[in-house]
Amino acid sequence: MMRKQIAAANWKMNLTLQQADQLIDELLDIPHDLKDYQEAVFGVPFPFLFNIKNKLAGKKNSFVAAQNCSDKNAGAYTGEVSAAMLKSIAVDYVIIGHSERREYFNESHATLADKINICFETGLKPIFCCGEPLAIREAETQNSFVETQLTESLFHLNAQQLTGFVIAYEPIWAIGTGKTASNEQAQEMHAHIRSIMAGQYGAVVADSISILYGGSVKANNAKAIFCQPDVDGGLIGGASLVATEFAAIINSLK
């Protein structure tokens, strides 16, 4: 059984509604045939979720993701968006713990654990991000750094919750820098993440987890990265804002 292979777009804080509509229309005009175990996921800004969800209606294995949600269920948190709000407009996935959220908004491992819990309680699928900055990679302590991210935010969960879970590994030093981890570096870390999960939850659960690579993936390098044995697709930033690029990346899935 092939685990889910996913091309996930992260539009970040880009585009107007009109530009977003145009991008998704262009993309849907380009042929891409998703197999049963493949998914295209669109992580779009909050104001566009409803619109993009409607445009994807009836498209096979195509889903929307919010780029974040609150760690609180409801209440006096002006400007926040709850998981229940997202669920009420039939959002499928939520990106949790993106490196930009960790870095600019000081999201802690404990906060991310709370967000993951709320996603499960609400019936949303998290895409949990982990990864190391350049200083950690240069010190060659990336393995223990990522292990801490996983253990402190995920290890309270049970095996059933983590079966079919989605993790995105982002070498932060390769996001938007044009640097990409070599295919070997990507595979090495993905295998390490899978081994950490296997150590805690067993090989069957670990082998069911889709681990996506996020770090300057483009149409011209996607296939080589995705064909690594433990790489199950990508979380795509800049290249997801170009219809032809992202379509080619979808078509590069295993």
Element (H, E) at 162: helix 159-162
Tokens representing 31 are 């042929």
Q: Which of 98, 100, 132, 190 is catalytic?
A: 98
Task: List all residues 6 or more positions away from 167 whose beta carbon is below 8 Å from its beta carbon.
Answer: 127, 128, 129, 130, 150, 193, 209, 210, 211, 212
What CA–CA distance (Å, rounded) separates 133 from 242? 26
The b/e string for 136-150 (b: 16+ C-beta within 10 A; e otherwise) is bbeeeebbebbbebb
Task: Let me know if 192 is a catalytic residue.
Answer: no
H or E, element range at 10: strand 5-10
* Residue tagged active-site, from 39, 100, 132, 170: 170
Using CB atoms within 10 Å of the CB of residue 232, give its burial: 0 to 12 exposed, 13 to 18 middle, 19+ buried.
buried
Q: Is 156 a catalytic residue?
A: no
Signed CA dihedral, 130, 7, 246, 116: sign only: negative
β-strand 166-169 against 125-130: which pairing, if any? parallel
Enzyme catalytic residues: 98, 170
